[in-house]
Amino acid sequence: MKRFYVYLSVLLLGITFVGCNDDFDTPPMVVPQATHTPNMTIAEFKAKYWQDLNNYIDTVKDDIVIHGWVTGNDVSGNIYKSLYISDGTAGFSISVNGTSLYNTYRIGQEIVINMKDCFVGKYNGQQQIGYPQYYEKGDVWEATFLPLATFQAITELNSLPNPSKVDTIPLSISDLGTDAETLKKWQGRLVRIDNVKFPDADGVTTFANADATTNRNIEDEHGNTLVMRNSNYASFRANKLPLGTGSVVGVLSYYNTSATKLDGGTWQLFIRDASDCIGFSSSTKGLIIDPYTVEEAIEGEAEGKSGWMMGYVVGAVAPEVSEVKSAADVEWEAPTTLDNTLVIAPSADCRDIAKCMVVALPQGTPFRQMANLVDWPEVLGTKILVKGKFEKFMGTHGITGNSGSKDEFQLSITTGGVTSVEEKFENGIPSDWTIYTPQGDKKWFTSTFDNNTYACITAYKGTKPPYEAWLISPAIDIKKAKSRVLNFKSQVGYQGATDKFEVYIFNGQVPFSGEVTDKINCTLAVAPSTGYSGFVESGDIDLSQYADGTYYIGFRYTAGTASNYQTWCIDDFSFGVAPAAATRGDFESFNSGTATATYGNYTTKAGWKATNASILKGGAADANPVFTFIGFKTGSTTDYAMACNLSGKTSGVGTLVSPEIEGGLGTLSFNYGYAYTESNGVSFRVDIKQGGTVVKSFDVTKKDAVKYTAYEFKEEVNLKGAFTIEVTNLCPSKSTSNKDRVALWNMTWTQN
């Protein structure tokens, strides 16, 4: 609007002073004209200053002027602080410490460079015009970014941009050797490579990941590959990789971190924008996101089609069958006799071999290990995705060419899991855990505080909301695990407006792709008003309801756009670990660790049950239900013990019963005493049972017991195998009122 007022003012002034004269002159177009004349080609210049080193810097002392037309710039954000030029003899890269260079140096713009007293060298194998920098760690000089003002001072524009001057040279990937002559010839050149494909193209994978520059290969018909380097800041970053076969145009660079070897590096291709990928297909049929049905795959046999197909596992080829001719040649029930094939149908109840396809499970491959119906009968009737060529196999419709790798099949359920996991993340996030980030640019990582390392996630300093980040455990075989209990610790720091943290159990190879996705109810840390919470135990999470197979545990963090974010931490993950044989009663977990004078029934985490009892605790001063005579836990000078205080009235006799304990019983020890005024001392019975039968029993009686006094008891039992301990108050006063109360604590035993 402001510009309109300026134009209007100028117009009114023109009317005032010129009257009706509307014969205005058109401003002349300024065409830049260079004052220097090129006297050396780029090819000659590169050869003159070439050194067989991967890092060096040299000063141009001669009156050398070169020129070239811009072939690559930063218009899309994929090329960073660099320009590429060519004069027809060779290409060259120029490192410039500036951004938005494309506004001045457009494709086809001729530039003339006065190189006298300027610098040429290499940075990690790539020869370029740049600026000296000493790399102390490598003890070498190298070429870094030329200051923008310096570049502008030595460079002149000549004429207007003329894209027709930009030469694109046909190239085969096999032409890219690593000898000096090949490096000089192709570095910095704009090339076109025909008849190539993107092996990673699946209709889902993008040019670059959201959080980092990403390498994607292109591959020709002979299997030769070339790295395409794609920035996560490129405008086409989120574009899907092109499908099928086509041509790719880009500028060539070379990267080599070796101190001396020229041939230890990697050729890299930088496209300038998405339009540099030419002639590729838009069809997704046969990709994993759009697989063929069994019917379509069978129809495609005549055309030699290949790709992904989806169906249902209905059986395996029967023993001693080399040619499948009828339904009798297939075992339709699981477990099957052999583990080397699968029969796949359009529906789980199909038994018509003419509508089915057979695929081999190559020996020693993940496909056989995870999908065969001998070890995993639960695979029968489930969906499966298989990649291969559709052609006759074993005399019937088949899928061939599948190597059995994890990249060429996908089950809808999980198999082949481990039976136990203990992970403290002390060495980072292990390779068998999965970091999955469907949204945003924040991933799980590890952090260390107070000599403890743990896994973390936060959206703090993220730049691409919304955020969704998963940390996924290895597959766990709940069916075969010795223990089906899951435990972990969580911690959370700070307040967040949009943060959400959840724990899931699921099967399938990707979150939510399987048939079961349940949220796990567990105890999670609660964010304090400031700073971090402590690590909080999840509690024992019983996964017995999932004992039909193999699953994953996934920790899911989500957040939207906000000014503040939480940090969530996970540590001490444990599943399937058979608990060590107990040697101490966990009385400290009675009533969640809180003493109470109220008589009732209480149970510890491990399963000790106190009936008609109150829960006492040691302390620095007597204040019912806390008493000094109970003292500390065995072996501690800081943690007070908790005691089970058994009622002494005949109408509600106090008892204490242990869970079944493994490992045998050598010597049984505990403390006892009473905290209240009792007239007949203490008397109680201890029964040791196996299989519900008392195998040893002894009475503990002390008529002269003194209030607020701790007594110790020991008994040699010498018992093998599992056992239970039962304590019953004998109520020596035989009173209906609550007399003869007795407290027991620090109950320990040795294994036998």
Tell me the per-residue pLDDT of 154-193, one tens digit each, with 9 for 90 and over: 999 999 999 999 989 999 999 999 999 999 999 999 999 9
The more confidently predicted of residues 579 and 407 is: 407
Residue 663's pLDDT is what? 87
Cα(97)–Cα(285) distance, rounded to whole angstroms? 45
- Looking at residue 51, its amino acid is Q
User: Of the candidates 19, 116, 137, 124, which has an alpha carbon nearest to the alpha carbon of residue 58?
Assistant: 116
Cα(219)–Cα(110) distance, integer angstroms: 33
Which DSSP category does 53 fall into? S
Amino acid making up residue 281:
S
Element (H, E) at 423: strand 421-423
* pLDDT at residue 579 in the model: 66
Q: Which residues pair with 642 in a beta bridge?
A: 617
Beta bridge partners of 110: 69, 158
Phi and psi at residue 605, in whole multiples of 5°? -60, -40
* CA–CA separation, 134 and 310 (whole Å): 57
Distance CA 426, CA 78 (A): 37
Distances (CA, A) of 121 to 15, 182, 256, 285, 679: 61, 17, 14, 48, 99
- Residue 229 sits at φ, ψ, to 5 deg, of -100, 120
Question: Phi, psi (5° rounding) for residue 381?
Answer: 85, 0
Average pLDDT over residues 660-670: 93
d(C-alpha 424, C-alpha 448), whole Å? 12
Q: How far is CA 504 from the centre of its chain?
A: 15
SS (H, E, C) 363-415: CCCHHHHHHCCCCCHHHCCCEEEEEEEEEEECCEEEEECCCCCHHHEEECCEC
What would the mean pLDDT of 315-336 be, rounded to a whole number? Answer: 97
Query: How buried is 109 (Cβ within 10 angstroms: 0-12 exposed, 13-18 middle, 19+ buried)?
Result: buried
Query: What contacts 284, CB < 8 A, 6 or more positions away?
Result: 203, 243, 290
Average pLDDT of span 577-603: 89
Tens digit of each residue's pLDDT (9 = 90 or more) over 517-533: 799 999 999 999 999 99
Write out the E strands in 124-262. Answer: 126-135, 140-144, 146-147, 155-158, 169-170, 190-197, 214-220, 225-230, 245-255
DSSP 18: H
Please check the confidence at residue 110 and state whether its pLDDT lies above 70: yes
CA–CA distance, 295 with 556 (Å, rounded to integer): 38
How confident is the model over 580-607, as a mean pLDDT?
91
Which pLDDT score is estimated for 466? Answer: 94
Residues 546-575 have a mean pLDDT of: 94
Q: Are 399 and 359 in contact (CB under 8 A)?
A: yes
Give the pLDDT confidence of 617-637 residue by residue, as tens digits: 999 999 999 999 999 998 888
SS3 568: strand
Q: Phi then psi for 294, rounded to 5 degrees?
A: -60, -40
pLDDT at position 511 is 61
**143/129 Cα distance (integer angstroms):** 7
Q: What are the pLDDT digits (tens) for 714-735?
A: 999 999 999 999 999 999 989 8
Which pairing describes strands 445-449 and 665-673: parallel, antiparallel, or unpaired?
A: unpaired
Per-residue pLDDT reduced to its tens digit, 22-57: 455 666 778 999 999 999 999 999 999 999 999 999
How does pLDDT run across 539-558, given as a tens digit for each residue?
889 999 998 889 999 999 99
The per-residue pLDDT for range 699-715, each reduced to its tens digit, is 999 999 999 999 999 99
* Band of residue 693 on the pLDDT scale cut at 50, 70, 90: very high
Examine the pLDDT at 239 and tell me if it is beyond 50.
yes
Q: Is 703 helix (H, G, I), strand (E, B) or coil?
A: coil
Q: What are the phi and psi torsion angles at 428 (to 5°)? A: 90, -175
Mean pLDDT, range 742-748, rounded to an integer: 96
Cα 49 to Cα 29: distance, rounded to the nearest angstrom: 39
- CB neighbours (10 Å) of residue 407? 10
Query: For residue 547, what are the contacts with CB-CB under 8 A and spacing of at least 6?
Result: 478, 479, 484
| Mean local confidence (pLDDT), 198-209 | 92
Q: What is the mean pLDDT of residues 482-507?
A: 94
Q: What is the pLDDT of residues 70-95, one digit of tens each?
A: 999 999 999 999 999 999 999 999 99
Give the three-class secondary structure for 263: helix
For the cut 50, the answer to whether the pLDDT of residue 3 exceeds it is no
Q: Considering the chain, what percentage of its residues have pLDDT values greater than 90? A: 83
- What is d(CA 358, CA 392) in angstroms, rounded to the nearest whole number? 9
Lowest pLDDT segment from 153-157, 331-335, 661-665, 676-680: 676-680
Give percent of the chain with pLDDT exceeding 70. 95
The per-residue pLDDT for 678 is 83
Count of CA atoms in the C-beta half-sphere (13 A) of 655? 12
Mean pLDDT calculated for residue range 248-268:
89
- The token duo for 52 is 């067989």
Return d(Cα 265, Cα 55) in angstroms, integer: 13
Q: Which positions ≥6 away from 385 have C-beta within 8 Å?
A: 288, 291, 308, 309, 310, 409, 410
Q: What is the predicted pLDDT for the residue at 18?
A: 41
Q: How many CB atoms lie within 10 A of CB 382?
A: 19
Which single residue is written with the structure tokens 């000014």? 563
Which residue type occupies 37?
Answer: T
Which of 208-212, 240-244, 560-564 bottoms out in mean pLDDT, i.e. has the lowest? Answer: 208-212
pLDDT at 1 over 50: no
DSSP code at position 655: E
* Contact call for residues 60 and 118 (beta carbons, < 8 A): yes
Band the pLDDT of 512: cuts 50, 70, 90: low
How sure is the predictor about 17, in pLDDT bands with cuts at 50, 70 and 90? Answer: very low
Cα separation, 728 vs 612, whole angstroms: 11
Question: Tokens standing for 223?
Answer: 């299997």
* Vertex 260 angle, CA 255 and 266, to 5°: 20
417, 548 contact by CB (below 8 A): no
For residue 592 the two structure tokens come to 């969640």
Query: Is the CB of residue 705 less than 8 Å from the CB of residue 681?
Result: yes
pTM value is: 0.60
Give the per-residue pLDDT at 509: 61
Provide the pLDDT for residue 559. Answer: 96
DSSP state of 25: P
Report yes or no: 69 and 162 within 8 Å, Cβ to Cβ: yes
